[in-house]
């Protein structure tokens, strides 16, 4: 009888371990993709920063270039706000994550 209980328990544990492995694999894939996207955005923003620095040395800009410069500047403020909000939400979420999350870490 004890053997049947152990067998049932190990089946449940095997199932749980399989599910956890699947979840971890999915999270890793998301993080891997996120890393690529962040690198892409970082590279694009670096290029824009370089262009803005080049424009800083120009005495007089044509209207289109001046509008582009202003739009990029505004966009950078918006992106910074979004990233700050995201970081705050991650911080709040990790505080609420609880025992299971803390145990896995």
At 63 the pLDDT is 94
Q: What is the pTM (predicted TM-score) of this model?
A: 0.56
Q: Is 59 helix (H, G, I), strand (E, B) or coil?
A: coil
Residue partners of 87: CB distance under 8 A and separation at least 6: none
% pLDDT > 90, the chain: 7
pLDDT at 102 > cutoff 50: yes
- Report the distance separating Cα 55 and Cα 74, nearest Å: 16
What is the Cα–Cα distance from 34 to 45, expressed in whole angstroms?
A: 16
User: Per-residue pLDDT averaged across 34-50, rounded?
Assistant: 86
Check residues 47 and 17 and name the one with the higher pLDDT: 47
- Residue 67 pLDDT: 93
Q: Which two tokens stand for residue 101?
A: 């999350």
Please, what is the average pLDDT of the chain? 77
In this structure, are residues 102 and 85 in contact, taking their beta carbons and an 8 Å threshold?
A: no
Instruction: Check residue 64 and give its pLDDT.
Output: 95
- So what's the pLDDT on residue 62? 93
The model's pLDDT over 84-100, given as tens digits with 9 standing for 90+, comes to: 998 888 777 666 655 55
């Amino acid at each position: 009888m004890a053997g049947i209980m152990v067998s049932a328990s190990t089946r449940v544990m095997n199932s749980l371990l399989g599910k956890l492995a699947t979840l971890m694999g999915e999270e890793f894939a998301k993080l891997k993709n996120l890393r690529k996207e962040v690198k892409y955005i970082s590279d694009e923003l670096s290029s824009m920063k370089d262009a803005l620095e080049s424009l800083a040395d120009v005495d007089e800009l044509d209207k289109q270039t001046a509008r582009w410069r202003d739009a990029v500047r505004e966009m950078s403020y918006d992106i910074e706000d979004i990233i700050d909000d995201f970081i705050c939400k991650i911080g709040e979420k990790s505080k609420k994550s609880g025992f299971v999350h803390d145990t896995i870490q």
